[in-house]
Chains A and B, each alone.
Chain A
Amino acid sequence: MLPILGLLTGIILGLLFRVPVPAWMARYLGIALLAALDSALGGLRAGLEQKFNEKLFIGGFLANTTIAGLIVYIGDNLGIEIYLAAVVAFGVRLFQNLAIIRRHYFQIHHWE
């Protein structure tokens, strides 16, 4: 319940504050969003697998977003769209995590 509450809080905060994002930052925002989504789902999965490690989770979240941002920056400066690599990597992981989470819920509720 708490994560869902957190998600709602975040959405409301974002809508309330309406942080203006300049156009050049839109891509960074997108990548940060993907990284956050990936970490969140990864954490959920780890939690369901009973091997959730707080330090690993928070550390991974921060590292993922930072490195993703860095990749976008480097790509922008080199003229190579490396950020696509981050998008693909996060995207693939996202679906994997989703699949595993789904399976876990199936097991928990004995739907099989």
Chain B
Amino acid sequence: MQFKLGRWHLSLAIVFVVLGFLLSTAFATQQRSGERPGPRKQNLIDFIEKQRREREKLGSQLVEARKNVAGLDSARAGRLGVLAKYSRELESLRVRAGLKGVSGRGIELLIGDAARIPLGADPDSFLIHDYDLQILINALWRGGAEAIAVNGERFVVNTGIRSAGSTILINSKPQGGPYRIKAIGASKRLVRTLKADSDAALLMGDYAQKYGLIVKLSTRNKVTIPPYKGSLRLQLLRRK
């Protein structure tokens, strides 16, 4: 009896070894796959947020530093007299390059996604895309805009509008809708060009009505556009 009991215990024990092995392996696997993504994802989100804040901080420091440099330049030039002409030229170049905040007559155009997307409809039609902004900005340039900013991002020589996933990057910074486009220029001409541009007119007219896009165009006596908050450093460019 004792021997018989031992025998069936033995084979049972072998299966239990396998069972235990599977149990701990499954447990370890579950721990690994169930636990890691959460904190990892959160870490990445935190990291991105931190970097974004850091960039904002550096951006405003840069603007401050540029302002100081410009101030020092003109103070120095005023003393030296002869340099005053160059200083003024430098100043106007800074304005043109987008390194100084500017204000003037112009327009403000608010454009945004539809408030709700009906079930089953193609959501693309109800959203503002990078190409929509490109159409509008290009029309504004054509209308003689002298300075443009979208959501406070000043347009400079190397500004691009491109989509990245579900957001639009302007000056490589993700922007969320609604997009507030500010342009300094002859307001009537800007409005006229916007309406004359077939794509822009379609977007702001028929599409906006059909899909419920937000479109608010207004002329302003004073539009304020902030300076460019990014780097303009050229590393590979050489004078021809």
Contact = CB atoms under 8 A, between A and B. Distances in A.
A15 B28 contact: yes
Q: Is the interface of B mostly helix, strand, loop or mixed?
A: helix
B15 interface: yes
Given A11-B23, A21-B29, A23-B33, A54 B17 contact: no
Contacts of A2: 6, 9-10, 12-13
A14 B33 contact: no
B16 A14 contact: no
A47 interface: yes
Contact of B21 (A11, A43, A44): A11
A8 B17 CA distance: 7
Given A33-B19, A43-B15, A54 B24 contact: no
Nearest to A22: B29
Interface residues of B, number: 26
A82 B105 CA distance: 70
B12 A14 contact: no
5 contacts: A5-B13, A7-B16, A7-B17, A14-B22, A54-B11
Contacts of B9: 1-3, 47
Which has the most chain A C-beta neighbours within 10 Å: B11, B15, B24, B25? B15
A23 B36 CA distance: 13
A40 B29 contact: no
Given A14-B24, A32-B22, A26 B29 contact: yes
Nearest to B22: A33
Given A13-B21, A36-B19, A29 B8 contact: no
B75 interface: no
B121 interface: no
Interface of B: 6-30, 33
Contact of B11 (A23, A33, A36, A57): A57
Contacts of A8: 20
Given A44-B12, A58-B11, A13 B20 contact: yes
B184 to A, nearest CB: 55
Given A6-B13, A29-B25, A39-B15, A47 B8 contact: yes
Cβ-closest 5 pairs across A and B: A10-B20, A14-B24, A6-B13, A6-B16, A11-B20
A16 to B, nearest CB: 9
Contacts of B26: 21, 26, 29-30, 33
A30 to B, nearest CB: 6
Contacts of B10: 2
B127 to A, nearest CB: 33
A1 B2 CA distance: 13
Contacts of A40: 12, 15-16, 19
